[in-house]
């Protein structure tokens, strides 16, 4: 349930509460309708508003619909997502993050932060290199079968023969003026990969995620960007429950 849906339900209950309270008291009823409204509806309104504050500003649940984060996250896992933490700092490398991607979709994506603003990053022979050092990734399902380079103010991907530059018409690749260097991740931009590298629609497909502002290019150019929050706990099913 989204915060908007919850708030709509609370609003309906509140309207019912007001209507019952304003009804004329029938002779002999001693105002029982008002008492019933207060006794049964007020707790729902208070609880609903409290839940709305929590899922809007503090934490909410997130359901895993696909296998893009296997083996770390299983399909149908339910997570708790901290929506408060990134109000104070940007994501850290290795965080598992829920965020709106730069491609048209009604749902947020969940991926792992691999590259931070200012990093040099490439994928070569199945290994991610950050600032020329190989990244130890014990969490991936298998090594990626593609190569990737950030260079010449773009993201270049090789799957099979030949390199292809991600097209700013479909991927979030900021214009040259937003880059600090031609081979480093631009400010406010992040490289996000799924742990199931060869079955994940992520930065090697749609470019950079952003922690602020509006998407610089791609299908959602001009729409608000940011991070919904950090996934910190699997709480369902109980057999999978653990901190992330």
pLDDT tens string 164-175? 999 999 999 999
Single out the catalytic residue among 83, 111, 203, 217.
111
What is the pLDDT, as a whole number, of residue 74? 95
Domain coverage including residue 99: 64-243
Q: Which of 59, 88, 106 is the last residue of a domain?
A: 59
DSSP alpha helices (H): ranges in 183-243?
203-206
Single out the catalytic residue among 21, 29, 66, 68.
68
Q: Tell me if 94 sits within 8 A of 135, measured CB to CB.
A: no
Same domain membership, residue 161 and residue 87: yes
Same domain membership, residue 53 and residue 109: no
Same domain membership, residue 110 and residue 38: no
Please say if 68 is a catalytic residue.
Answer: yes
Please say if 111 is a catalytic residue.
Answer: yes
Q: Based on the structure, what is the number of domains in the chain?
A: 2
Q: Which of 24, 42, 59 is the last residue of a domain?
A: 59
Same domain membership, residue 93 and residue 37: no
> Strand order of the sheet with strand 163-165?
133-134, 127-130, 121-124, 147-151, 154-158, 163-165
Q: Which of 59, 84, 104 is the last residue of a domain?
A: 59
What is the pLDDT, as a whole number, of residue 92? 96
Average pLDDT for 151-157: 98
More confident residue, 75 or 54: 75
pLDDT band at 25 (very low <50, low <70, confident <90, very high): very low
More confident residue, 84 or 2: 84
Same domain membership, residue 96 and residue 45: no
Residue 154 has pLDDT above 80, yes or no: yes
Same domain membership, residue 91 and residue 33: no
Average pLDDT for 83-103: 92
Cβ atoms < 10 Å from Cβ of 148: 22
Same domain membership, residue 79 and residue 16: no
Same domain membership, residue 153 and residue 50: no
């Amino acid at each position: 349930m989204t915060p908007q849906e919850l708030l709509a339900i609370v609003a309906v209950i509140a309207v019912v509460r007001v209507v019952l309270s304003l009804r004329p008291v029938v002779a002999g009823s001693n105002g029982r309708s008002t008492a019933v409204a207060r006794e049964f509806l007020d707790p729902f309104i208070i609880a609903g508003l409290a839940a709305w504050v929590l899922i809007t500003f503090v934490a909410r649940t997130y359901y895993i619909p696909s296998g893009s984060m296997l083996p770390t996250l299983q399909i149908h896992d339910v997570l708790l997502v901290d929506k408060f933490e990134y109000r104070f700092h940007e994501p850290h490398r290795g965080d598992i993050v829920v965020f709106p991607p730069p491609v048209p979709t009604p749902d947020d994506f969940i991926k792992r932060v691999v590259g931070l603003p200012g990093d040099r990053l490439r994928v070569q022979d199945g290994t991610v290199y950050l600032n020329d050092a190989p990244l130890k990734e014990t969490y991936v399902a298998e090594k990626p079968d593609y190569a990737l380079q950030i260079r010449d103010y773009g993201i270049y991907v090789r799957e099979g023969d030949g390199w292809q530059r991600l097209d700013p018409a479909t991927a979030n690749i900021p214009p040259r003026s937003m880059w600090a260097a031609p081979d480093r991740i631009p400010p406010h931009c992040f490289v996000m990969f799924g742990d199931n590298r060869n079955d994940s629609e992520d930065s090697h497909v749609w470019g950079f995620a952003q922690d602020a502002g509006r998407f610089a290019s791609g299908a959602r150019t001009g729409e608000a960007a940011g991070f919904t929050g950090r996934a910190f706990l699997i709480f369902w099913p109980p057999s999978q429950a653990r901190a992330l």
